[in-house]
Structure formats: structure tokens, C-alpha cells
A = this chain, B = another copy of it.
């Protein structure tokens, strides 16, 4: 979602969706670009952003402001009644500030609670919730929270009420056996196979948190979990096939 040139294309695909849906986005590349412009250094540990007070302002601006509202405006233009929100809105996602040990990530939140009732009101009113990856602690503090984790937590919380398909869209064709070969997509991945590949060092390190989130959701009440290139979404909606499908 943080490549402006692809945003329109990505959004257009959503027109094919005929059911209720939720969109969750981050925007790390644009946040890093804005940080650089302002002269604030970006610090990452294990792919996670160290979020001091200034960086929290930046991700709140970029995720909840710029990217979120651009997506919403584009969705309205294709007739999807989007509402751009973050976890603080309607008290939808409450998180706890992560402990300072072993690593002080700053204003980063781990999800504590999803307000399924309020979320259901939005969905059942025909709205399309578009979540930026910002949550709050319920005491007035915004917190930066991983978008993949939010998607997984939302899917789990809604699994009791709806038949949920969870799609992770990113810039690879799926889970790859060889990260340099976009054709090496693993079409079906079980948790057993995942653990074997991971132990053998055959899963690209950047994929591990995403897959851990994906399997966490899949082990719950989620009908289907799919990991695919963002531009395959429409193909997936129409055919039911794209990228990597998690299997039991």
C-alpha cells in the first residue's frame, strides 16, 4: 500500500469482492521516507520499528492519515463504502505497551482485546472497515502495532461470527522455497512442513513473523488463510487460487 503508483491498481481489485471485508494496512516504507525527510533516523530490530515519541507521530501521520484516507477515497470511487479507522476508533483494538525488556521498542503495542461488537455493527451496516496499524492503550496513548498481527487478531475475533478468509498480500508471489525465485511458490503449506522448512533454514527470515501470524489464525476458527502477491488478489477472488494456501 505504500507504493503510490500501485495503490490505485491494488484498490481496483477490491471491486471484485462480493462479501463483507476488512482491509488492514501499514506503510513502513513511506514512514521511513518521511522520517528521513525530517531528519529522524529509523531504527529497526528484527524487522520491527523502534517507535519513540517522534516516530509514533510519523507512523500515525503516514498510516492513519495519508495512506488510510487515500485508500478510503479510492474505495469510495469504486463504490465500496469504506471507513478508515485505527484501533483507538470505537475502542476497536486495545493493546498493551510492550515491556522495555529485552528490547525497548518504545510506543509499540501488543494486542489485548478486539471490540467485536462494534466491529460487527460496522460490517453489518455495509461498511468496509479500513484499519491502519495503530492501536491504543485505552488510557489516551496511541501505539504502533504490526499490521499482519492486527489482521490475524481481527480474523480470529470474527471467526466465531463469520466464515473468515484471511489474505496476506505483499510484494512476493507467495511463500517461496527460494526467495530469489518468484516461481518457487509453495502452493500448499502445512504447519508441519513449515516447521521443517524453517528448521532447515529454507524460509526467508522476513516471512517468519508473517507465517507465525498466519498459522496462529489458521489454528483457530479461520476457514482459509492465503499468502499472495498484492496484485493477485483479484485473481484469487475470482478463482480461489493464488500464492500459498495454508493446509492442515
Interchain nearest-CB distance for A59 vs B (Å): 9
Q: Point out the residues of chain B lying under 8 angstroms from A89, CB to CB.
A: 69, 72, 82-84
Q: Does A77 contact B (CB under 8 A)?
A: yes
Interchain nearest-CB distance for A170 vs B (Å): 23
In the complex, the chain B residue whose C-beta lies closest to that of A71 is B88
Are B88 and A86 interface neighbours, CB within 8 A? no
Within 8 A of B (CB), among A89-118: 89-91
Task: Return the CB mask of A113-128 against B: 1 if under 8 Å, else 0.
Answer: 0000000010001010
How large, as a class, is the contact surface on chain A? 35 or more
Q: Does A76 contact B (CB under 8 A)?
A: yes
Task: Return the CB mask of A123-167 against B: 1 if under 8 Å, else 0.
Answer: 001010000001010111110000000000000000000000000
- Contact A88 to B62, CB < 8 A, known contacts A38-B38, A125-B121: no
A1 to B88, CA, bound (A): 18
In the complex, the chain B residue whose C-beta lies closest to that of A115 is B81
Are A85 and B86 interface neighbours, CB within 8 A? no
- Contact A70 to B142, CB < 8 A, known contacts A62-B65, A65-B62, A91-B81: yes
Q: Does A23 contact B (CB under 8 A)?
A: no
- Contact A57 to B66, CB < 8 A, known contacts A81-B91, A140-B74: yes
Are B37 and A76 interface neighbours, CB within 8 A? no
Question: Which of A60, A89, A121, A139 has the most chain B CB atoms inside 10 A of its CB?
Answer: A89
Classify the secondary structure of A's interface with B: helix
In the complex, the chain B residue whose C-beta lies closest to that of A92 is B83
Q: Point out the residues of chain B lying under 8 angstroms from A139, CB to CB.
A: 77
Q: Point out the residues of chain B lying under 8 angstroms from A57, CB to CB.
A: 66
Q: Does A61 contact B (CB under 8 A)?
A: yes
Q: Point out the residues of chain B lying under 8 angstroms from A84, CB to CB.
A: 64, 85-86, 88-89
Interchain nearest-CB distance for A142 vs B (Å): 5
Within 8 A of B (CB), among A10-50: 34, 37-39
Q: Does A73 contact B (CB under 8 A)?
A: yes
Q: Does A63 contact B (CB under 8 A)?
A: yes
A121 to B69, CA, bound (A): 21
Q: Point out the residues of chain B lying under 8 angstroms from A134, CB to CB.
A: 69
